[in-house]
Amino acid sequence: MSKKLLVVGRGPSWERAKEIPDDYEMVLFINTPQIFDSANRDEELLERLKSKKVIMYTNMPQRLVAFQEHILNFFNVDECAIARCSPNWPLWREHKAKQKRVCPAWKQLSWLPPLEEDEPYMYIWRGPEPANAPEMFTPGGRKINHLVDEAEPYLASVYGDRMMCNCSIFASLYAILKLQADHIYYCGLDFYHDLKVAKESYLQSPAYMSGQNWWQLRVKTEGEHTKIVYDEYMTKFFPDVTYEFYTDADWTPSNKNVVTHCSGKEIIFKKYDSNYYKE
């Protein structure tokens, strides 16, 4: 029997959760759920989500925000987890010391300009020191789970190819390896479809952290890499898992195990800044 789980990201399509069949057992929120701050909160949807087993999943920078006790209580959170494996600080230090800033840092995609960035490095998931501790707890004292060690060869394959591995990939590995999900619904993952790369970036790649053009390119590249990781890597790693996306992005994957329900909404382009998720 299929074990289904819903992953809810912070992109605008999170509202499409109401379109998803109510046959999943678990909900995994990535970082602080948008529904928490929504001015027009859908109470029926909220109660549906809260009735499931709820997992709050974050990356390292967001852990002190998403794991606040009033947020965890609001969603009746059953489990907290973070996008890191259990630490191995010596191994992390060894590989972090080899990291360089280059252009292009990540695997180059033909339809985007090269990106100057700190290159991806192996065993990033075993650090950083001391933030990624052997035992971790939320500010309210709840245990924070690490990603299981069985995820390491999959992460190594992605990072070894210089592909970007964002929080949703870590969350999907957690869902499959720890929670045993074999059918994952997604909403709120729009791959930064509403960001536009500046024309001048195609003529001259912006310098690292040099301003808005760099940020637009950096985050757009992350979104495009993430699509490829799902379509080509996750389907190879776990060929019996279905990845079903309710998204605002216009995306046609090549693998039959990646199913997309694209909204077809008109794209209103934004800037990537502190207000990106608030607009």
- Chain centroid to Cα 66, Å, comes to 14
What one-character DSSP code corresponds to residue 88? -
**Mean pLDDT score of the chain, rounded to an integer?**
95
Give whole-number Cα distances, 15 to 45, 110, 132, 200, in Å: 9, 32, 32, 34
Residue 13: pLDDT over 80:
yes
Give whole-number Cα distances, 68 to 5, 10, 50, in Å: 23, 17, 17
Beta bridge partners of 183: 4, 242
Cα–Cα distance for residue pair 70/75, rounded to 1 Å: 9
Residue 65: pLDDT over 90:
no
Place of tokens 């909220």: 46
Are 63 and 82 in contact by the 8 Å Cβ rule? The answer is yes
- With CA atoms as reference, report the closest residue to 240 among 178, 176, 186, 185: 176
Alpha helix positions (H), the chain = 34-37, 43-50, 63-66, 69-74, 89-96, 152-160, 167-173, 199-203, 212-228, 235-237
Cα–Cα distance for residue pair 215/221, rounded to 1 Å: 10
Give whole-number Cα distances, 260 to 160, 187, 255, in Å: 27, 10, 11
Tell me which amino acid residue 140 is: G
pTM of the model: 0.96
| pLDDT (tens digit per residue) in 250-270 | 999 999 999 999 999 999 899
| pLDDT (tens digit per residue) in 155-212 | 999 999 999 999 999 999 999 999 999 999 999 999 999 999 999 999 999 999 999 9
Cα–Cα distance for residue pair 68/48, rounded to 1 Å: 22
Quick one: pLDDT band at residue 28, thresholds 50, 70, 90? very high
| pLDDT (tens digit per residue) in 108-164 | 999 999 999 999 999 999 999 999 999 999 999 999 999 999 999 999 999 999 999
Give the mean pLDDT of 72-89. Answer: 96
For residue 5, give both structure tokens.
């789980």
Per DSSP, the three-state class of 12 is: helix
Tell me which amino acid residue 138 is: T
